[in-house]
Structure 1
Amino acid sequence: MTTADVSARPLADLISLAGRRAVVTGGGRGLGKAIALRLAEAGADLVIGDVDADLATTAAEDVARLHGVRALGCAMDVTDSASVAAAADRAVDELGGLEVWVNNAGVFPAVPALELADDTWDRVFAVNARGTFVGAREAAKRMTEGGAIVNIVSTAGFRGSAPGLAAYVGSKHAVRGLTRELALELAPLGIRVLGVAPSHVPTEGNLAAAAAAPHPADQPPTPLMLNGPIGRPGVPDDIARVALFCASDLAAFMTGSTLLADGGSTA
């Protein structure tokens, strides 16, 4: 399937997701909810998945109320392939199809490398790396007319991040590589695969991780959300706008890339 030349289409049409159906994993709060809100504002109907079903339901209600789209919340554990497939099926069965999938769910426990247990390592990779692959696989199976898969990577997919994040950094390098490989394999199906790599932004999860990060007892925690060259830390909507760009036809000629959304901190 060849990606269409969209040069003649107006800008408002290119950014619109009207008539498209999207799934956002880990969408109950933080980056995932911000992304869901922007996709909905662009016109997409949504399935919002989260391991916390109540958060997913509340987020879906908020999205539907604010933007007048159809939005469904569901329990989703990205380490369980059947759970991921069920969410994908809901998009097809209840919304009518699937064109956009955002792999946002992630975990980032802070454990020094010499104390990092095998099961913790495996858990991080199960959520961050395998969960991304399973989400992309199940989405691609259902994207019968092409589509876009957006993987939330991290600046940790480009470099070391902070003490205690060996599993997280390893898993995000894996997601960045997976993005490139899936772009090659899925291009013949008309499916684009892009990554978005945020720096740390003050979401509920990131703030908790920053507080829990290992540090000397006589020193305060190392701040993870620093001002880069742009002069301020990011906020969730900074990342959501880039995810919307990737999902929309504005990025129709892009696949395989991971876009840094980091205020220049990785420059």
Structure 2
Amino acid sequence: MKLRGRVALVTGAGRGIGAAIAGALAAEGAAVAVCDVDATAAAKTAAELSERHGVRSVGVAADIADSAAVRSALELVARDLGPVDVLVNNAAVDVIKRFVDSTEDEWDRIITVNLKGTITVTRAVLDQMIERDRGAIIHIASDAGRVGSSGEVVYSATKGGVIAFGKALAREVARHNITVNTVCPGPTDTALLGQVAEYSQKMYDATIRAIPLRRPAEPAEIAGVVAFLASDEAAYMTGQTLSVSGGLTMV
């Protein structure tokens, strides 16, 4: 078990890709803090991890757009599990529509959660990682942040920002034995992909046809890559951006 004795915090882990990541880390022996804006979903996922994998797990409710809520969540995690060794910034929001039809309120929410929220949570765990001279930070961005995505213009901008943030941070913290890498999922079988189909079935069908592997990813296929990056097997990887897209993008 490659992560035995380590504490992982996964944001947006109540369902979807985040829950799959939490499960993959728990399967490798990590104690897992399941952070989600939905307190019930966080508690449910945490209980399932403990039962299935026999690890310590706690559900914490926090909107990562709220820095005070993030600090409170980290205090709870430190009390119940210990300092965070592995941070996975997965939480994100999106609204599928043309940019000209989107509103400033929607822009603000997407930017605040996806980009500022990622920065906020990272800053909240960084001091303890630096103090202990170890850590792994994995951002979940999107191939939309690398190549752009119609109907997701502001979302694409925030994910591009997350990628750049990860690269720059990796340079600063490498001296402290902290790695920072970014995973960019392609279309994945989650509620977000369902939003695309609701917005335009034609767009959804065209996207799936364009994937060389001819199907969307399963959340577990994203989670496996994250578990690798969290492990010592990836100790010499930092500042990297990995697409998990079935070949949809090859950059």
> Scaled by the length of structure 2, what TM-score is found?
0.94
**1:257 has 2:240 as partner:** yes
Separation in 1, partners of 2:175, 2:66: 27
8 Å contact from structure 1 (residues 111, 165) kept in 2:
yes
Separation in 1, partners of 2:75, 2:174: 22
Residue 111 of structure 1 deviates from its aligned partner by 2.4
**1:165 has 2:135 as partner:** no
Separation in 2, partners of 1:171, 1:44: 29
Separation in 1, partners of 2:243, 2:192: 20
220-229 or 185-194: bigger deviation: 220-229
Q: Deviations over 1:172-203 (max 9, x none)?
A: 11011011011112222221110000001111
Corresponding residue of 1:193: 180
SS in 2 for 1:180: helix
Q: Deviations over 1:239-259 (max 9, x none)?
A: 000010111111100111111
Q: Deviations over 1:5-59 (max 9, x none)?
A: xxxxxxx6xxx00000010000000000000000000000011010100000000
Residue 261 of structure 1 deviates from its aligned partner by 0.7
**1:97 has 2:66 as partner:** no
The correspondence of residues 1-267 of structure 1 with structure 2, limited to 5 A, is: 16-143=2-129, 144-145=131-132, 146-162=134-150, 164-207=151-194, 209-213=195-199, 215=200, 220-223=201-204, 226=208, 228-267=211-250
SS in 2 for 1:98: coil
Separation in 2, partners of 1:205, 1:114: 20
Q: Could you tell me the percent identity over the aligned residues?
A: 40
Q: Structure 1: which amino acid aligns with 2:182?
A: G
Separation in 1, partners of 2:169, 2:124: 13
8 Å contact from structure 1 (residues 92, 142) kept in 2:
no
Separation in 1, partners of 2:76, 2:110: 26
When the two structures are aligned, how many residues end up with a matched partner? 246
Corresponding residue of 1:6: none
Residue 221 of structure 1 deviates from its aligned partner by 4.0
8 Å contact from structure 1 (residues 47, 90) kept in 2:
no
Separation in 1, partners of 2:189, 2:64: 23
SS in 2 for 1:223: helix
Separation in 2, partners of 1:74, 1:124: 21
Q: Structure 1: which amino acid aligns with 2:51?
A: R
SS in 2 for 1:167: helix
Q: Deviations over 1:67-103 (max 9, x none)?
A: 0001100111010011112222222221122100000
Q: Deviations over 1:179-236 (max 9, x none)?
A: 10111122222211100000011112331x21343x4xxxx44116615223432100
Separation in 1, partners of 2:102, 2:165: 24
Bigger helix fraction:
2
Unaligned runs of 5+ in 1: 1-11
Moved over 4 A (4+): none
Quote the RMSD (CA, aligned, Å). 1.4
8 Å contact from structure 1 (residues 30, 205) kept in 2:
no
SS in 1 for 2:204: coil
